[in-house]
Structure 1
Amino acid sequence: MAEAHQAVAFQFTITPDGIDLQLSHQALRQVYLSGLRSWKKRVTRLKNNVITGVYPASPSSWLFVVIAILATMYTRSDPSMGLIAKIQEHLPKYGVPTHELMNITLLWFSLIFTMRLCLKQLLSYHGWMFEQHGKVSNTTKIWAAMVRIFSGRQPLLYSYQGSLPNLPVPAVKDTVKRYLESARPLMSDSEYERMTTLAKEFESSLGNRLQWYLKLKAMWASNYVSDWWEEYVYLRGRGPLMVNSNYYGMDFLYVTPTPIQAARAGNTLHACLLYRRKLNREEIKPVSPHYMRTVRIGVHLLVFCVYLDSLIHWQDSEYVAVFHRGRYFRLWLYHAGRMLSPREIEQQIQRIMDDPSPPVPGEAKLAALTAGDRIPWAQARKEFFSSGVNKRSLDCIEKAAFFVALDDDEQGMRGDDPAGNLDRYAKSLLHGKCYDRWFDKSFTVVVYKNGKNGLNAEHSWADGPIMAHVWEYVMTTDSFQLGYTEEGHCKGDVASSLPPPTRLTWDIPAECQERIERSLTVAQALADDVDFHVLPIQEFGKGAIKKCKISPDAYIQIALQLAYYRNRGTFSLTYEASMTRLFREGRTETVRSCTSESCAFIRALEGGESKEVCRRLFRTASEKHQQLYRMAMTGGGIDRHLFCLYLVSKYLGEESPFLKEVLSETWRLSTSQTPLQQVELFDFVNHPEYTTCGGGFGPVADDGYGVSYIIVGENMINLHISCKHSCPQTDSHKFGADIKKALEDLLELLSPEKPDPSKAEQNHSKKSKKDL
């Protein structure tokens, strides 16, 4: 085995005859090649750091500036009109060549700083987002041209990071006003009057003081929200990650590229490595025109502690941890300084599957510790996994590139009950058996017995769109770039010298096994309570919605409001996730989708108002939703600002009844859209069978719904609906039917009315008689 070879590359023993020195040439070669590969990566990272550091200029531009300055000196011309000479008076004096090179280099850095400042100001312009679709103003045209000029020709993935503007801190007055506007349709007159009084008191007294501290933080922090959001939303929670925080992504809906489990794992793992290599080399292009931020998918791990978890990032890892039938293995993905081919990974996976050894006591359900409450896992980690063989094996899992679960179940939309099987597939990815996913890891790749796959992702290190980008690349590369043989195996040859995967060893005492069982009991109760329904809607999609000249997202959000009103007989505070990746280190913001305008439309529709009135109210509600979404994306959201003000009040020991009440509100309808086709690796129009099902998450509130949706092509919308069995008022299947009916009713309302053939014939007859 590779790591064993490295361990015995050099060893000696002392005997009565002297020192016995032994060298393993094969192991030394492996160490050499591994070190060489590591140094190549460091050189690549250094090169990219230099290129990114001088962006939007380029390293070669320094030579251009040198030649230009020397040419002006030689011709005794001064295009700067004395500015350069004035600057040189204040610079230190060296030898003539050194002096000139130093001055030129400082001038070059000044130009870089100026260009970066200009680009930052350009990227601070968001007027293009608020313009009517298809109508671009002259200001936006000039802005786009200037951005292209200052952006350079081929920016790397992280080139824009230093030029992205900081997230602005909204005025307290504006945030309070927008909050009261969002709360109005959800409160009675007396409740709204009371909340208005609390808001005005906060705005005129404590709010300004808290705002001063928040602005002070925004002056030195690149993002005044992100670090607090990560700590208090993800790292300080003490409940289980499973269901409550982690989310999942599914495979293709109709296609399974191969029925061979090991082969599917081979291509999937190889595609993950290809993505990571492109990421390390920064070969993934920034998304235009928004210049969105992409997070590194290196080795991330959430380490549970008693009071505050730690998010740890390792720079690189050359292996994955694999779980199969209660056993854990280390699978090296590199050999002799190169990446293993898909066929070689398939062979290694097959070796794991053919291993007949049983799990040791406590090993099979060990991962249940990561599925239950965090404090028991933190305590067990300290007591039983802080030294010896258990620490070495745990370190192996935690420092792996990611976690792989080889599942013995068959999943997918198949058999006599495709809808029910699809629901079970989603639940399997969300929580599995509660002990066959490592929920602390950045993500777990799950490969099923029939070749279906999927993933379960931890939330603190990256939001859904990041993993959607990764998973879309992996799936399309798997099917369209790598492919399979006619027999369903991975393509390529196998090196005969590959060492087998390593079985991890454990010594788990009886007391620890009891802790594992207790965590498993907690996790199973949580998993059994999840009511999940995946609903593919194939009757219509984005194409039909766009014919109505409506934003697809606004259309779906209003349909969700209508469905919830029909389902519960009332309106609810609604969370829609929006991205703030137009700003440096931006993550998410909340769009409060339940508005006075949407409520007015729904009341009119359900009250039997005329189609003309309902259409007018719907378009007003749609425009309001789009306005709120754009405001959230451009830093004008409500909830992140109030969240940070609340934290400042806690740090200062100040109580705010207004902030306390706002932060304790329940999101009974939590929604999120999964982006699609962030990478263009295949033509979806010509391959409609490769429809992705998207992904989903668990319910946020005990008495509410979680809804994730993905708009697939022109003719399909997939919904992932979650709630809890323990709440008698919620039912995922009933709510799914309500959503589908709402979508259909809105389409019928908004679609242009077809002319009546009989009336058209009568009009034509009258016109003919008139002509005669």
Structure 2
Amino acid sequence: MNIATPLRTTRHLASLLTGVSRPQLTAQVRRRAASAFYSSAAAQVDAHQVPEKSFQNQSRLPRLPIPSLAETAARYKRSLVPILNENDLARAEKAVDEFVKPGGLGETLQGRLHEMDRTEKHSWLETIWLNKGYLEWREPSMINVNWWAQFKDSPHFNLERTPDRGVISDVQIQRAANYASSLLNFNDLVNSQTLPPEYQRTTPLCMNQYKNQFGAYRVAEMPRDRIVTTWPTTANYITVMMRDQIFRVPVTGPNGERVSVQAIEQQLRHVVEAVNNTPEHERQAAVGVLTSENRDTWAKARQTLLGLSPLNHATLSSIDNSLFVVCLDDYSSDRDIDISHHNIFHANNAHNRWFDKSMQFIFENNGRAGINGEHTPADAVIPGRILDELVRNEKTAEPREPTHAQLASIEPLKFVVNDEIKETIKQAEVNAKKMIDNVDSCLIHFNEYGSNWLKSVKCSPDAYVQMVLQLAYYRHYGTWTPTYESASVRAFLGGRTETVRTCSVDSVAFVKGFENKHADNIEKQRLLAKAIGSHLEYMMAASAGKGVDRHLLGLRSMMQTPEEQKQALIFQDPSYIQSMYFRLSSSNMSPGDNFWGGFGPVVPEGYGINYAIGKENIKFSISSLRSCPETNSREFRESILGALRDMKKTLG
């Protein structure tokens, strides 16, 4: 059996948004982070106080544990109970017991996993997760892997009247330059290790993913892609795109000297001038559209480009190694956020984007902005921290000591293309349009209550929203389904995410009881409390590295022969695929005050749901595929809204 086959359903490609249940930083750490980021006063440290270094805790973080076969088997079997009938459950349990019995195949694979843990730099899961969760996946990254986030509109950088199409506005340039300067500030902190380390209460969290954002890129190759990260990230330029034309734009001096926001603005204006002065027939082909293609198709086209000319090698290298991408769109999407987020999700036609960069920032000519991120190098909580700081401090982006260093000139990045590449681009445009037209994505900005009220009635906000989704799905479809929520395991070295299997015996009892006309509010509250407790137990286990899905993936990856694959009945049994066929795939990116985001569904018949719980509101994004007659994002949105309101009534 091909190990990669079911992983489209297991890895939560944009948990990102594709993020994780967001670990809450202590108030002290968050205050310190904001101060260090933007205030020159942060440099004035008490003479007796030694500032914390970003990566000082890495050496004392524990390694990700390998759960025992017995505890994984027990938790796995419990997760199968609500989704299998009696006969199927008996067969599945027998396969599990056979796998984990003393002297069985499970012990052999477990031994190999421990052996691997002794050779991996950070954890036994690191290479397995990158390869099986991302790099071996051959479907397009756009929609399937990349996540999006839209920033709240800014009073400083937003126009009352939308400019005409084809115009790049002053407000747009100003906001883009401001964000670029802020991003340079953040990169400086990571490079100098002065970004304060993060904690969950007093437990230090792994900071390694902060090394994987600036300058990171994905390379399309066969049979699997490659991810490249560098730290410190010392490139002095960014990539800027406008009307599919690509430019290398220096934003610091030759020795890394920081310049004013106005100096960066001027560089962006040079890009606009260069594009406007280039006749349409002389413009470069829209090579960026190829990054939206099937990974094998793009890998082949990339190799063709590299073979056509040394210029193409230099151009691709320049894009790859830039700090990040800025996309200047000479148009604005609808003011309606239900529509506007599509431009950030996929640009409606995949043009003027480079989906292989870890971060590409998108600016419309009415001042609206967002980000499209490649998920492979980091989970959403990491760029989420960066974005939170950017939006919250939009008008304080100047470096502490800007110089008057002369910035190098912008440089148009050229491609030599042949007829084969031109034809591949045309087909990529067709394929991208089909994918984009198939995505049904909408939002909820629910302002009737948020975490303040939920805490007042003694409900875990995250677990409560998970039960909202369970009730909404049951009402909509008359049944329940395997459900994915991502949990952070950053308490361990190199930790990323683990799956929380939300659908449980207790969640099923809750939704059935809630819909029972004969159940009173006391009974409904009891069932909800029990379901929340069950969910929190799984969340705690997952965050402690003792979930089901990553361990089973690791064991499955240790099989070496066809005979072992046949012998591993636990993976051959239909219940294995069925239990991780996540028609509900969700992630929590709270609080959502400064931005909100989303990602695509992970199975054709499913929904991708990102949510953010603010103090007085809850935001959702809901995506599905129009090709599936069973799903409809807007109709399911109404079921979520109904569940939100009805559950509040029950709790008083």
TM-score range, shorter chain: 0.7 to 0.9
Indicate which of 543, 550, 557 corresponds to 1:633. 543
CA contact (8 A) 2:360 2:373 kept: yes
| Alpha carbons of structure 1 residues 429 and 465: separation in structure 2 relative to 1, 3 Å | same
Q: Take 1:585 and 1:653, find their aligned partners in 2: how far apart are those partners?
A: 33
Q: Which residue of 2 aligns with 1:185?
A: 82
CA contact (8 A) 2:187 2:214 kept: yes
Q: Which residue of 2 aligns with 1:339?
A: 258
Q: Which residue of 2 aligns with 1:745?
A: 646
| Alpha carbons of structure 1 residues 559 and 163: separation in structure 2 relative to 1, 3 Å | same
| 4+ residue segments displaced more than 4 Å | 253-256, 359-362, 490-499, 650-653
Indicate which of 164, 184, 187 corresponds to 1:276. 187
CA contact (8 A) 2:244 2:288 kept: no
Q: Which residue of 2 aligns with 1:110?
A: none
1:647, CA displacement in angstroms?
A: 0.6
Q: Which residue of 2 aligns with 1:425?
A: 340
Q: Take 2:604 and 2:642, find their aligned partners in 1: how far apart are those partners?
A: 25
Q: Which residue of 2 aligns with 1:324?
A: 242
Indicate which of 359, 363, 381 corresponds to 2:302. 381
CA contact (8 A) 1:403 1:443 kept: yes
Q: Take 2:640 and 2:575, find their aligned partners in 1: how far apart are those partners?
A: 28
1:716, CA displacement in angstroms?
A: 0.9
CA contact (8 A) 2:381 2:589 kept: yes
Higher mean C-alpha displacement, 214-223 vs 197-206: 214-223
1:657, CA displacement in angstroms?
A: 2.6
Q: Take 2:477 and 2:153, find their aligned partners in 1: how far apart are those partners?
A: 31
CA RMSD of aligned residues (A): 2.2
Secondary structure of 2:476's aligned partner: helix
Q: Which residue of 2 aligns with 1:621?
A: 531
Establish whether residue 401 from structure 1 lines up as the match of residue 302 from structure 2: no
Instruction: Supply the AA of the counterpart residue of 1:209.
Output: T
Q: Which residue of 2 aligns with 1:695?
A: 597
Alignment coverage as a number of residue pairs: 573
Q: Take 1:274 and 1:662, find their aligned partners in 2: how far apart are those partners?
A: 49
1:257, CA displacement in angstroms?
A: 3.1
CA contact (8 A) 1:482 1:491 kept: no
Higher mean C-alpha displacement, 293-302 vs 714-723: 293-302
Indicate which of 76, 93, 109 corresponds to 1:196. 93
Q: Which residue of 1 aligns with 2:502?
A: 593
Instruction: Supply the AA of the counterpart residue of 2:234.
Output: D
| Alpha carbons of structure 1 residues 316 and 663: separation in structure 2 relative to 1, 3 Å | farther
Q: 1:260-310 CA deviation, whole Å, 9 max, x = no partner? A: 111011101000100000111111111222312232123111111120111
Higher mean C-alpha displacement, 350-359 vs 180-189: 350-359
TM-score normalised over the length of structure 1: 0.71
Q: 1:664-699 CA deviation, whole Å, 9 max, x = no partner? A: 33111000001448xxxxxxxxxxxxx324211111
Instruction: Supply the AA of the counterpart residue of 2:539.
Output: Y
1:441, CA displacement in angstroms?
A: 0.9
CA contact (8 A) 1:368 1:519 kept: yes
Q: Which residue of 2 aligns with 1:733?
A: 634
Establish whether residue 454 from structure 1 lines up as the match of residue 355 from structure 2: no
Instruction: Supply the AA of the counterpart residue of 1:718.
Output: K
Q: Which residue of 2 aligns with 1:168?
A: 65
Instruction: Supply the AA of the counterpart residue of 1:565.
Output: Y
Q: Which residue of 2 aligns with 1:34?
A: none
| Alpha carbons of structure 1 residues 710 and 735: separation in structure 2 relative to 1, 3 Å | same
Indicate which of 431, 442, 449 corresponds to 2:358. 442
CA contact (8 A) 2:259 2:404 kept: no
CA contact (8 A) 2:483 2:585 kept: yes
Secondary structure of 2:370's aligned partner: strand
> Percentage identity across aligned positions?
29
Matches within 5 A, 1:510-525: 510-525=419-434
| Alpha carbons of structure 1 residues 345 and 212: separation in structure 2 relative to 1, 3 Å | same
| Alpha carbons of structure 1 residues 745 and 254: separation in structure 2 relative to 1, 3 Å | farther
CA contact (8 A) 2:590 2:611 kept: no
Secondary structure of 2:585's aligned partner: strand
Instruction: Supply the AA of the counterpart residue of 1:375.
Output: D
1:401, CA displacement in angstroms?
A: 1.0
Indicate which of 365, 374, 388 corresponds to 2:286. 365
Q: Take 1:441 and 1:638, find their aligned partners in 2: how far apart are those partners?
A: 31
Establish whether residue 645 from structure 1 lines up as the match of residue 555 from structure 2: yes
1:402, CA displacement in angstroms?
A: 1.1
Q: 1:528-560 CA deviation, whole Å, 9 max, x = no partner? A: 100000110011111111111010001000000
Q: Take 2:490 and 2:406, find their aligned partners in 1: how far apart are those partners?
A: 46
Q: Take 1:514 and 1:285, find their aligned partners in 2: how far apart are those partners?
A: 49
Q: Which runs of 5+ in 1 are unaligned?
A: 1-128, 130-151, 415-420, 484-489, 678-690, 752-772
1:482, CA displacement in angstroms?
A: 3.4
1:364, CA displacement in angstroms?
A: 4.1
Instruction: Supply the AA of the counterpart residue of 1:311.
Output: I
Indicate which of 651, 654, 657 corresponds to 2:569. 657
Higher CA-based Rg: 1
Secondary structure of 2:55's aligned partner: coil
Q: Take 2:146 and 2:409, find their aligned partners in 1: how far apart are those partners?
A: 32
1:365, CA displacement in angstroms?
A: 2.1
Instruction: Supply the AA of the counterpart residue of 1:746.
Output: M
Indicate which of 254, 266, 272 corresponds to 1:353. 272
1:468, CA displacement in angstroms?
A: 0.4
| Alpha carbons of structure 1 residues 739 and 255: separation in structure 2 relative to 1, 3 Å | farther
1:524, CA displacement in angstroms?
A: 1.5
Q: Take 2:126 and 2:505, find their aligned partners in 1: how far apart are those partners?
A: 30
Q: Take 1:469 and 1:492, find their aligned partners in 2: how far apart are those partners?
A: 24
Secondary structure of 2:131's aligned partner: helix
The structure, 1 or 2, with the larger RCO (C-alpha pairs under 8 Å, 6+ apart) is 2
Q: Take 2:380 and 2:105, find their aligned partners in 1: how far apart are those partners?
A: 35
TM-score normalised over the length of structure 2: 0.84
Q: Which runs of 5+ in 2 are unaligned?
A: 1-22, 24-48, 160-170
CA contact (8 A) 1:291 1:582 kept: yes
CA contact (8 A) 1:290 1:582 kept: yes
Matches within 5 A, 1:236-275: 236-252=136-152, 255=155, 257-259=157-159, 260-275=171-186
Q: Take 2:402 and 2:53, find their aligned partners in 1: how far apart are those partners?
A: 34
Establish whether residue 392 from structure 1 lines up as the match of residue 303 from structure 2: no
CA contact (8 A) 2:441 2:623 kept: yes
Q: Take 1:716 and 1:189, find their aligned partners in 2: how far apart are those partners?
A: 41
Secondary structure of 2:204's aligned partner: coil
Matches within 5 A, 1:200-219: 200-204=97-101, 205-219=104-118
Instruction: Supply the AA of the counterpart residue of 1:223.
Output: S
Secondary structure of 1:454's aligned partner: strand
1:313, CA displacement in angstroms?
A: 2.2
Instruction: Supply the AA of the counterpart residue of 1:664.
Output: I
| Alpha carbons of structure 1 residues 212 and 750: separation in structure 2 relative to 1, 3 Å | same
| Alpha carbons of structure 1 residues 273 and 360: separation in structure 2 relative to 1, 3 Å | farther
Indicate which of 540, 550, 554 corresponds to 2:459. 550
Q: Take 2:227 and 2:425, find their aligned partners in 1: how far apart are those partners?
A: 23
Matches within 5 A, 1:506-585: 506-585=415-494
Q: Which residue of 2 aligns with 1:9?
A: none
1:237, CA displacement in angstroms?
A: 0.9
| Alpha carbons of structure 1 residues 383 and 663: separation in structure 2 relative to 1, 3 Å | farther
Matches within 5 A, 1:85-100: none
| Alpha carbons of structure 1 residues 648 and 282: separation in structure 2 relative to 1, 3 Å | same
Q: Take 2:472 and 2:560, find their aligned partners in 1: how far apart are those partners?
A: 38
Secondary structure of 1:546's aligned partner: helix
Secondary structure of 1:482's aligned partner: coil
CA contact (8 A) 2:61 2:206 kept: no
Establish whether residue 465 from structure 1 lines up as the match of residue 381 from structure 2: yes
Q: Take 1:663 and 1:154, find their aligned partners in 2: how far apart are those partners?
A: 49
